[in-house]
Chains A and B, each alone.
Chain A
Amino acid sequence: MAKETTNGGSGAQPERRKQPKLLTRVVKGLGHWLGPETPTGKAFVAAEKGMTKAFDKLGSNERYLNLVGGVLNRALRTRKAYVEAQENWLHLLRLPTSTEMDDLREEVRDVKNQIEALSSQLELVVEALEKGRREGQGVEVGRTNTNGSATTGRPS
């Protein structure tokens, strides 16, 4: 089940570490160039902080949130109307609609759950029958053992 870890040392690693690949050097260089210890990086971090602050401010601005919410809601309602029109059209053509498919799926799920509940009840019945059978056997053994055996005959 556990997957094999491929990170870490293979035989070729020390060789590669001495001379990193071009891609590794480019990636590291980019990270270093925009890192907090270089002048470019310091400027980048300052810009990042500024932008984060601006986005945070925007994200908590009531007017902006109402505006975005309004646009989103309009888009969703338009899509809802489109879906309804599509369903009406399919209905006219006597083709199954998405809602009807969902109804069908729900019924199938209900049937599955019902089967599961029934099988659980059946298991209980089988267990009870099994217990009863064992008890019956125990009594039989007990009866046999009264003729001299040391077994108590109590069902397990």
Chain B
Amino acid sequence: MTTQSTSQRLRSFVAGQIELSRELMQAAQKGSMSPYHYVKPFILRAADVGEPPLAPTPHKVVYTNGKMRLLRFEPTVRKHATPILFVYSLINRYYILDFLPGRSLIEFMVGQGFDVYAIDWGTPGSAERRIGWDDVLNVLIKNAVKWALRHSGAKDLTMYGYCMGGTMALAYAALHPQGLRNFVAQATPVDFHEGGVFAEWTKPNRFDVDALVDAYGNVPIELMETGFSSMAPIQRMTKWLEVFRRIDDPDFVTTFLGMEHWASDNVQFPGEIYRQYIKDCYQYNNFCKGRMKVAGQTVDLSTIKVPLLNIIAENDTIAPPKSSEVLNTIVSSTDKEIMRFQVGHIGLSTSSKGPKQIWPKVAGWIAKRSDPWTET
């Protein structure tokens, strides 16, 4: 009996070691730079937890165009006729908005009775090299708005842009005001010359974006990862010590791993969009100054007249408050508000303050400006 159980344990130990080595080899073969891929297998085993249940809210795909998908998150009890369309950034993946059960902005909004839609840009590849702002604004977002309105049966919607998605959504709102009822900008950089370290790094004399795009087509994942890790190279490693210390707290470990999974899930940045983004936003600040042109049309933020909510994270280093708050002075909306929260850039969508302090206020603001749902 004892011999059998010892041999079973030994067999299970060896199998575990083989599996662990296999996972580490796979990460090394992929050339992953993020420590997540190398430390995660140990953490999962040490904490006895499973993979973090990311993107938990049930959804349907209602429209696709290339890699882009429009997702619908339908509420069980709909209270508002005006739907919400989330426009996420092209950096990383959309599911940070639908993070973990109980910590998901999308799940929260669905629970408040909103018919929610979100654009998932997918994982751009070589087919997306030539996609430009024209395609994103005048084809992809435009069609997303059209299909969201069609599916929800509404005549207008609340556009909710996050980070660079906010910048793109603002450009869209300036060019196509029809169909928009409200606009929510969350951690959205507008004045890029107040854009913190990124503005410093991408100065025209330091960064030849043309050479990058001409050489690679899309911006390679490795370059994106290097950029992010250069922002806080030491903390990138030492933050893992906190999870080591709290290894017997499954909730903490799951949230931490979920966050790291998302942060390491980098995707290529479509080259032509990046070229114009760096030039018109970071290098020459044309977006903020009303000089950016998309398909011959000038993106003038002062033409935005819909009610505007600007959500700012006070500890944001990616879209610093100074870079975002200027938006309210540019737009022509008479109904506009800034909400500030003591969190970081990602904390607006993932912190424990979200469902308790941040999202109820945001949902309240949107609900007040949405039509009530009446069953026909």
Q: Which residues of A contact B52 (CB under 8 A)?
A: 7
- B25 on the A face (CB < 8 A): no
Instruction: Assess whether B245 is in contact with A28, with CB atoms less than 8 Å apart.
Output: yes
Instruction: Assess whether A23 is in contact with B50, with CB atoms less than 8 Å apart.
Output: no
Q: Give CA–CA (A4, B53) in the complex, Å.
A: 7
- The total of chain B residues at the interface (CB under 8 A) is 61
Chain B: CB-nearest residue to A65: B206
Q: Which residues of B contact A1 (CB under 8 A)?
A: 56-59
The residues in B between 134 and 189 inclusive whose CB is less than 8 angstroms from any CB of A are 135, 139, 143, 146
- A144 on the B face (CB < 8 A): no
Instruction: Assess whether A79 is in contact with B216, with CB atoms less than 8 Å apart.
Output: yes
Chain A: CB-nearest residue to B47: A24
Instruction: Assess whether B59 is in contact with A13, with CB atoms less than 8 Å apart.
Output: no
- A60 on the B face (CB < 8 A): yes
Instruction: Assess whether A8 is in contact with B42, with CB atoms less than 8 Å apart.
Output: no
Q: Which residues of B contact A23 (CB under 8 A)?
A: 42, 45-46
Q: Give CA–CA (A97, B29) in the complex, Å.
A: 28
Residue interface mask A69-92, B partner, CB < 8 A = 1:
110110011011011000000000
- B230 on the A face (CB < 8 A): yes
Residue interface mask A1-39, B partner, CB < 8 A = 1:
111111110000100110011011011101110110000
Taking residues whose C-beta sits less than 8 angstroms from the other chain, chain A's interface range is 35 or more
User: Which of B146, B215, B234 is A83 in contact with, Cβ under 8 Å?
Assistant: B215
Q: Give CA–CA (A120, B57) in the complex, Å.
A: 30
- B51 on the A face (CB < 8 A): yes
Q: Which residues of B contact A27 (CB under 8 A)?
A: 42-43, 46, 244, 247
Instruction: Assess whether A24 is in contact with B248, with CB atoms less than 8 Å apart.
Output: yes
Instruction: Assess whether A35 is in contact with B245, with CB atoms less than 8 Å apart.
Output: yes
- B339 on the A face (CB < 8 A): no
- A111 on the B face (CB < 8 A): no
- A152 on the B face (CB < 8 A): no
Chain A: CB-nearest residue to B48: A16
Instruction: Assess whether A73 is in contact with B208, with CB atoms less than 8 Å apart.
Output: yes
Instruction: Assess whether A3 is in contact with B56, with CB atoms less than 8 Å apart.
Output: yes
Q: Give CA–CA (A66, B243) in the complex, Å.
A: 37
Instruction: Assess whether B214 is in contact with A83, with CB atoms less than 8 Å apart.
Output: yes
Q: Which residues of B contact A32 (CB under 8 A)?
A: 245
A residues apposed to B, CB below 8 Å: 1-8, 13, 16-17, 20-21, 23-24, 26-28, 30-32, 34-35, 48, 51-52, 55, 59-60, 65-66, 68-70, 72-73, 76-77, 79-80, 82-83, 98, 101-102, 105-106, 109, 112-113, 116, 120
11 A–B contacts from the bound complex (CB under 8 Å):
A2-B57, A3-B51, A24-B247, A24-B248, A28-B244, A65-B200, A77-B211, A79-B211, A102-B130, A105-B130, A116-B65
Given A31-B247, A73-B207, A113-B139, 18 extra CB contacts under 8 A: A1-B58, A2-B101, A7-B52, A7-B251, A13-B48, A21-B46, A23-B45, A27-B43, A27-B46, A31-B243, A65-B201, A69-B205, A76-B211, A79-B216, A80-B214, A102-B217, A105-B126, A112-B66
Which 5 A-B pairs give the minimum distances between C-beta atoms? A6-B50, A31-B244, A69-B206, A31-B245, A76-B211
